């Protein structure tokens, strides 16, 4: 069955067909982090969604070329560089490193390429030169270069493909230098920003004088450099639809580098906003969380990933700490079922049972309906538990069920609890439990098991002995 997706470009659900179906290759660009601070959970919802799309395409047999840019120069970064007094690279390296660490904590597959804007200045300049040559970009008296929306539209092209914009209010010649301009404000946007005193040492030479690139042009330049002028899929948060993605389309298609009839990007996917405790996340409301804030509260990357993967990507999702506790409980249910299945299956390996995998895939084929997919998983857990309780599950069936789960987990990535080494105190509790069991003091052994559970560890009894797993 084919994968159907809501394409923001066509405003409709469409079947995904790769640009070159014969090659079974999918090219995917996700707008990456701006490395001036730690990414917050709203950002993580989008990045985990990008990871789900990539994993699902891989499950469907596509070789995925996954690119995620690192925005390592922009208005906010320059402000922070000025405040901290650090050189640009030193400042951004810290948050870039933290981003990759967080990506790992959340078990996201590493994108194939993670280009930095500052390492693509020649490609950015070449793209602006093309736009200038086509008469779509002009140098303003301050030395900055702007994209002319009027000229672009005058050439018969559409600005406002993803969102509806009110052009009656467009004031010709109005220029926006800021990377993040107000919603609905249609104006000529900066491609190249002339150096100003506040930029300090952050500048590059260009045909238009010293300066730095705008934010939007970097994504056009790097995506086309690495994936070609026309590629399959572009992913971002819904807040990036306008102006960022609209500007990307205008710059990339305005440069006229696509083969005739081919768009810059064929499928645009946008992940909806995230609320925290029912409100828009904000530092002043105290409901602003980075991944690290949640880890400090004792939650694991696995629990956070599970929760952020729970809702359909086009639904606004309300993130609460209570939900996160619920995620912990749901994962525990899943883990207990898997542990029992392993006990029954022993060392027996079997091919994946088809039912669960096909139900799950049918849900995901339907515009990545992951909540429907989870519904199938937890129905399966309930049925499996019943069979386990009745003792009617054969080893071969248990093996097939485990294999089915392992197949799904290549998509979900919530895994079995990580094989992390237990601290000495925890290992000592396991030893004490094993000793009690050996002495047939099962009550005492169970008390140790409970204590371990309270500390976030479960014991898995395997043919090779007892193992500890982190919840
Ligand atoms: Zn971007």
Strand segments (E) across 35-187:
63-68, 137-139, 145-147, 175-176
Give pLDDT tens digits for 237-268: 999 999 999 999 999 999 999 999 999 999 99
Give pLDDT tens digits for 92-111: 999 999 999 999 999 999 99
Å from CA of 59 to ligand 1 middle: 26
The helix/strand count (H/E) of the chain reads as 15, 16
For residue 235, the SS3 value is strand
For residue 370, the SS3 value is helix
Higher pLDDT residue, 428 or 54?
54
Give residue 261's pLDDT. 93
Reference 30, options 308, 310, 226, 317; nearest CA is: 226
Place 418 in a pLDDT band, splitting at 50, 70 and 90. Answer: very low
* Angle between helix 88-105 and 75-84 (nearest 10): 110
Å from CA of 240 to ligand 1 middle: 8
CB contact at 8 A, 270 and 58: no
Reference 206, options 129, 140, 101, 280; nearest CA is: 129
Å from CA of 219 to ligand 1 middle: 5
Percent of the chain residues topping a pLDDT of 70 = 96
Please spell the DSSP secondary structure of 263-299, one letter per residue: -SEEEEEEEPPEEETTEE--GGGT---BHHHHHHTT-
- β-strands 211-213, 188-194 pairing: antiparallel
Å from CA of 183 to ligand 1 middle: 17
Give pLDDT tens digits for 181-230: 766 668 899 999 999 999 999 999 999 999 999 999 999 999 999 999 99
Give residue 419's pLDDT. 45
Token code pair at residue 231: 């590629």
For residue 156, the SS3 value is coil
Give pLDDT tens digits for 118-139: 999 999 999 999 999 999 999 9
End-to-end CA distance of the chain: 35
Give residue 172's pLDDT. 62
Domains and their CATH numbers in the chain: 13-271 (3.40.50.620), 276-412 (1.20.120.640), 424-470 (no CATH)
Å from CA of 207 to ligand 1 middle: 24
Give residue 420's pLDDT. 52
- Average pLDDT of the chain is 93
Give pLDDT tens digits for 295-351: 999 999 999 999 999 999 999 999 999 999 999 999 999 999 999 999 999 888 888
Reference 223, options 235, 241, 240; nearest CA is: 235
Å from CA of 68 to ligand 1 middle: 9
Strand segments (E) across 287-420:
317-319
Give pLDDT tens digits for 435-451: 999 889 999 999 999 88
Give residue 456's pLDDT. 80
CB contact at 8 A, 147 and 215: no
| Alpha helical stretches, state H, 1-140 | 41-59, 75-84, 88-105, 121-133
Give residue 463's pLDDT. 61
Token code pair at residue 83: 């405040």
Give residue 399's pLDDT. 95
Å from CA of 172 to ligand 1 middle: 25
Give residue 340's pLDDT. 94
Higher pLDDT residue, 174 or 454?
454
Å from CA of 241 to ligand 1 middle: 10
């Amino acid at each position: 069955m084919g994968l159907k997706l809501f394409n923001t470009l066509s405003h409709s659900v469409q079947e995904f067909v790769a640009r070159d179906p014969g090659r079974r290759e999918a090219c995917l660009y996700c707008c990456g982090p701006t490395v001036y601070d730690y990414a917050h959970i709203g950002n993580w919802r989008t990045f985990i969604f990008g990871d789900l799309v990539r994993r699902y395409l891989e499950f469907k047999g596509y070789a995925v070329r996954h690119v995620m840019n690192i925005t390592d120069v922009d208005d906010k970064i320059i402000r922070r560089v000025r405040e901290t007094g650090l050189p640009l690279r030193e400042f951004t390296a810290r948050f870039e490193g933290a981003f990759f660490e967080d990506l790992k904590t959340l078990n996201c597959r590493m994108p194939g390429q993670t280009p930095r804007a500052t390492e693509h200045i020649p490609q950015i300049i070449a793209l602006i030169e093309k736009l200038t040559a086509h008469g779509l970009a002009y140098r303003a008296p301050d030395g900055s270069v702007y994209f002319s929306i009027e000229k672009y539209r005058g050439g018969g092209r559409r600005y406002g493909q993803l969102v509806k914009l009110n052009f009656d209010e467009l004031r010709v010649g109005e220029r926006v230098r800021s990377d993040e301009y107000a919603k609905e404000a249609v104006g000529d946007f900066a491609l190249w920003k002339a150096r100003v005193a506040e930029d300090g040492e952050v500048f590059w030479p260009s045909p238009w004088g010293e300066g730095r690139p705008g934010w939007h042009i970097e994504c056009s330049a790097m995506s086309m450099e690495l994936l070609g002028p026309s590629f399959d899929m572009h992913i971002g948060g819904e807040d990036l639809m306008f102006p960022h993605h609209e500007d990307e389309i205008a710059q990339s298609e305005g440069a006229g580098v696509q083969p005739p009839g081919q768009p810059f990007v064929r499928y645009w996917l946008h992940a909806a906003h995230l609320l925290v405790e029912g409100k828009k996340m904000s530092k002043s409301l105290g409901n602003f969380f980075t991944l690290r804030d949640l880890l400090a509260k004792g939650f694991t990357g696995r629990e956070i990933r599970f929760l952020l993967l729970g809702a359909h990507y086009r639904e606004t999702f309300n993130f609460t700490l209570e939900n996160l506790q619920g995620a912990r409980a749901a994962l525990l249910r899943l883990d207990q079922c898997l542990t029992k299945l392993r006990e029954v299956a022993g060392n027996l390996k079997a091919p994946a049972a088809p039912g669960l995998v096909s139900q799950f895939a049918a849900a995901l084929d339907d515009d990545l309906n992951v909540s429907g997919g989870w519904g199938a998983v937890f129905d399966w857990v309930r049925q499996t538990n019943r069979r386990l309780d009745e003792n009617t599950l054969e080893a071969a069936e248990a093996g097939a069920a485990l294999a089915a789960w392992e197949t799904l987990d290549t998509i979900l990535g919530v895994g079995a609890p990580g094989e992390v080494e237990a601290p000495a105190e925890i290992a000592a509790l396991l030893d004490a439990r094993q000793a009690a069991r050996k002495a047939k003091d099962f009550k005492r052994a169970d008390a140790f098991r409970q204590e371990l559970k309270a500390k976030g560890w479960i014991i898995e009894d395997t043919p090779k002995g007892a193992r500890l797993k982190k919840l």
